[in-house]
Structure 1
Amino acid sequence: MEEVFADLHVHIGRSENGKPIKITAARSLNFANIAKECADRKGINIVGIIDCASPYVIEDIENFLKTGEAYEIEDGGIIYKDKVCILLGSEVETSEVGRNGKCGAAHNVCFFPHLSDIKGFSKEMSRHIHNITLSTQRSDVSGYELIDIVEKYNGILIPAHCFTPFKSYYGNCVDRMKDIFKEKFDKIFSIELGLSADTYLADMITELEDKTFVTNSDAHSLPKIAREYNKMLVNDISFKEVVKALKGEDGRKVLCNYGLDPKLGKYHRTFCDSCNQVIETKEPVAVCPFCGSDKVTFGVFDRIELIKDKEKSKSPANRPPYVYQVPLTFIPGVGNKTIDRLLDSFGTEMTILHKLSKDDIEAVVGEKVANEIIASREGKMKIHAGGGGVYGKVTVG
């Protein structure tokens, strides 16, 4: 068994020939570049690329396999340079009946073992999505219906960023996810927390006690890969082993969730759309205390306060720890040139974040930056909450 790092939510911005996939993502974010970034800079062993149902991306994957740098394996996944396992995924937006009978929408990340599986899924979903070439387009199916389609092609479904105010089950649709999936809820064995939530907050909801939590980057650019990630115990890097880890089968498991302090997330607290203020009241409010407007977007913290069914957060005994991890790009004074110097000296971000001593770092980038990196690693920082689509901020000290 080996310990590996996994980030299961990375977008593609453009195809190799420049066709748009995720319009809001960087042009450099293509299939080949993601594989190289994970292997050479990030130190990520398993990466889930969630725009692989686009026919343009499928063509890129086929061409990438022809280069000989990567190959499919029987247990599922594409192995790149024997360093990284790429899981072929698709993020699908489902159509739901939300609170008070209003239309709701939720995102789901779906993973498939082989290219043939996701090609079949893509063909079938093209009947339910207006433009299958683009990322995360609205489908006309519900989560209840989608899980059957995913299983038809040997895949798994993970509800994505479950609490965010837009496009999520708890944030945009229902107070209880079981109301969506009904008798199929047991088929959901993992959920993605999202950047604005953590284990403490999610374990305020009883129905999630038997679900494995995953923390992923939802990266829209190469540097954002692994801003959140997971440590897993597996026998090898493959689709089959990831599924076992998420189910906690045969000794495989998620050992640790590494994520942002949820205050750093863009949607942690409620935001007033009229006066552009983050609202940090003790209790959730539907009216802005600053300007009196009722045009507010509930943050993740506030939504959970409204829908929780526990007085105190209590995690099951087998829940892995959630470690607050500040990405290098969030740390004051750590810019691209500093990161490049560290990578040139030490190899990957995982090495920098997990293995290096203060003296190692200081020898390359100086005492001040070394102190800030170690302080962020140890949780010795002040964090100003984000909201309304604006990330929170870190100050060390």
Structure 2
Amino acid sequence: MIDCFADFHIHIGRTASHKPVKITASDSLTLTSILGEASSRKGLDMIGIIDCHVPEVIDEIENEIKNGNGCELDDGGIRFGNITLIPGSEIEVYDHRCNGPIHVLVYLPDLTLMKHFSDWLLGRMTNITLSSQRIYEDVYTLQHKVKELDGLFIPAHIFTPFKSLYGRGVLTSLTEVFDITLIDAVELGLSSNTTMADEIEELQSLPFLTNSDAHSTPKIAREYQHLKVEASTFKEWKKALRNEGSRRIVRNYGLDPELGKYYETVCRKCETRVSGCECLSCGSRQVIKGVSNRIQELSTATSKPKRPEYIHHVPLDYIPGIGPKTLERLLDFFGTEMNILHRAKEDELSSVVTPSIAKYICLAREGKLTIDKGGGGKYGKVRTKNR
């Protein structure tokens, strides 16, 4: 068995020919930059690129394989050097059950199946060349299609206020929209953790994933998971989700929920923190409900299941004193962000950066940083004064 660090939700901003894929993503977020950042800087072993239904993205990956830069694995995934790419697709569903848009993630073992899926989407999607587009199809039909192709079906960022199952405030259960027996896991999103999510009883039987939803290369691996598998392949990942043999999710690494940009409820008009449905400062009832409040509303659990350990991960660029030059010094010495965040000792860090920065990194590991909570679309911040 091997240790595998994985981030399964990364977008492509532009293709090699500079055509847009994820409109809101950085122009520099290309297949080449993703592979380089995820492998050499972040230290990941497996990534999911969730715009692989786009025909030009498929062509680009195939060209890399033809040029000898990658190879398809027998057990699923495409190997590029020391990292495995899992082909995925983010899709917006909106049928009579949804009562509004919801994003889901689909992962398939190889490019042949992804090309088949892309062709199937072509008659059900207005613009196949872009990411996160709406599918005009019954949700159950989509789920069954994914299973027909031996894929994984995972509702995305399930608590965020926009385009998620619970976060929109209309639906209260997975079963209102999906066949829960055809769901392989759920993705938590940046403003929640496993303890919070397990307040909802129906989620307790499902694996939790913590992914970055990266729209730029620096955001890759701001959330990720540590898997125990026999190899970095699609089939082994699927077995880890099912706890087959010794395979499993060992730990989830996610932003401290308080750093997430939708943790607290905020008034849309004046951006004041709100405790109810009306802003006491300006009287507006237009609020962006925070994930913490929404989960309190949905709480049904009377006990908690045993889960993989959840580590409150604070990305290096959130830590006071770490700018681009300091980060480069750390990377030059320790190699990858995984080494800096999880392996380097405090005295080793202090040999490269100031003792105060080294202390912040270690406090982040221990979940002891003091945070100004995020909300209303603005991320929280780490204070320079700690507990």
Query: TM-score per shorter chain, which class?
Result: over 0.9
Letter in 2 for 1:316: P
Residues in 1 aligned to 2:100 and 2:291: alpha-carbon distance in whole angstroms: 16
Pairing partner for 2:358 from 349, 354, 370: 370
- Is the partner of 1:131 in helix, strand or coil? coil
CA distance in 2, matches of 1:41, 1:17: 25
Cα deviation for residue 310 of structure 1 reads 2.7
Unaligned runs of 5+ in 1: none
CA deviation after TM superposition for structure 1 residue 65, in Å: 1.2
- Counterpart position of 2:66: 66
Q: Which residue of 1 aligns with 2:213?
A: 218
* Inter-partner Cα distance in structure 2 for 1:9 and 1:225: 9
Q: Which amino acid aligns with 1:55?
A: P
Please state how far the C-alpha of 1:67 moved relative to its aligned partner: 2.2
**One-letter amino acid of the counterpart of residue 130, structure 2:** L
Residue equivalent to 1:297: 288
TM-score by length of 1: 0.94
Determine the C-alpha separation between the residues in 1 that align with 2:112 and 2:261: 36
Q: Judging changes above 3 Å, is the alpha-carbon distance between structure 1 residues 143 and 251 closer, same or farther for their aligned structure 2 residues?
A: farther
Instruction: Name the aligned partner's letter for residue 69 of structure 2.
Output: E
Which residue matches 1:277? 272
Distance 1:205 1:97 in 2: 24
Match of 2:253 among 254, 258, 271: 258
Deviates more, 1:138-147 or 1:193-202: 138-147
CA contact (8 A) 2:260 2:374 kept: yes
Q: Which residue is equivalent to 2:112?
A: 116
How far does residue 154 in structure 1 lie from its aligned partner after superposition? Answer: 2.1
Say whether 1:203 aligns with 2:223: no
| Contact kept? 1:32, 1:64, Cα under 8 Å | no
Question: In the alignment, does 2:338 pair up with 1:350?
Answer: yes
Deviation at 1:153, TM superposition (A): 2.2
One of 309, 312, 315 as aligned partner of 2:304: 315
Alpha-carbon distance, 1:70 to partner: 1.0
Deviation at 1:143, TM superposition (A): 3.2
Runs of 4+ in 1 over 2 A off after TM superposition: 141-145
Structure 2 contact 152–184 (Cα < 8 Å) conserved: no
Structure-1 residue corresponding to 2:326: 338
Is 1:233–1:252's contact at 8 Å kept on the other side of the alignment?
Answer: yes
In the other structure, the counterpart of 1:161 is 157
Q: CA deviation at 1:96?
A: 4.0
The alpha-carbon deviation at position 291 of structure 1 amounts to 1.5
8 Å contact from structure 2 (residues 212, 221) kept in 1: yes
* Structure 2 length-normalised TM: 0.96
Map 1:1-397; keep pairs closer than 5 Å: 1-81=1-81, 83-97=82-96, 103-172=99-168, 173-181=170-178, 184-279=179-274, 281=275, 285-310=276-301, 314-317=303-306, 319-396=307-384, 397=386
**Paired residue secondary structure (1:373):** helix
Residue 74 of structure 1 and its aligned partner are, at CA, apart by 1.0
Amino acid at match of 1:51: D
Q: Distance in 1 between matches of 2:372 and 2:122?
A: 42
Q: For residues 154 and 217 of structure 2, what CA distance do their matches in structure 1 show?
A: 23
- How far off is 1:269 after superposition? 1.4
Q: Distance in 1 between matches of 2:140 and 2:323?
A: 44
Question: Structure 2 CA distance, aligned partners of 1:289 and 1:249?
Answer: 52
* Count of residue pairs the alignment pairs up: 384
Q: Give the match's secondary structure for 2:211.
A: coil
Amino acid at match of 2:304: S
User: Is the CA contact (8 Å cut-off) linking 1:278 and 1:386 kept in structure 2?
Assistant: no
Equivalent residue of 2:94, what SS?
strand
Q: Shift of the alpha carbon at 1:93?
A: 0.6
* Partner deviation per Cα, 1:110-158 (whole Å, 9 max, x = no partner): 1000101111111111211110100101222343232112122221111
Calculate percent identity across the aligned residue pairs: 46
| Partner Cα separation in structure 1 for residue 181 and residue 280 of structure 2 | 41
Q: Give, as a single letter, the amino acid of the residue that structure 2 aligns with 1:265.
A: G
**Contact 1:169/1:177 (8 A) holds in 2:** yes
* Paired AA for residue 108 in structure 1: V
- Counterparts of 1:68 and 1:337 in 2: how far apart (Å)? 34
The aligned amino acid for 1:291 is C
How much is the aligned-residue C-alpha RMSD, in angstroms?
A: 1.4
Runs of 5+ unmatched residues, structure 2: none
Distance across 2 between alignment mates of 1:345 and 1:297? 43
Structure 2 Cα separation of the partners of residues 244 and 274 of structure 1: 47
The residue type equivalent to 1:330 in the other structure is Y
SS in 2 for 1:269: coil
Deviation at 1:309, TM superposition (A): 1.0
- Residue type at the aligned position of 1:333: G
The separation in 2 between residues aligned to 1:315 and 1:348, in whole angstroms, is 35
* C-alpha separation in 1, matches of 2:242 and 2:177: 21
Q: Distance in 2 between matches of 1:299 and 1:96?
A: 25
1:192/1:213 contact within 8 Å kept:
yes
Paired with 1:376 and 1:73, the residues of 2 have a C-alpha distance of 37
Q: Which amino acid aligns with 2:62?
A: E
Paired residues of 2:147 and 2:182 also in contact (CA < 8 A)? no
* Equivalent position amino acid for 1:234 in 2: V
Are the counterparts in 2 of residues 193 and 215 from structure 1 also a CA contact under 8 Å? Answer: yes
- Range with bigger deviation, 194-203 or 25-34: 25-34
Q: How far 1:359 moved relative to its partner?
A: 1.1
| Offset, 1:328 | 0.2
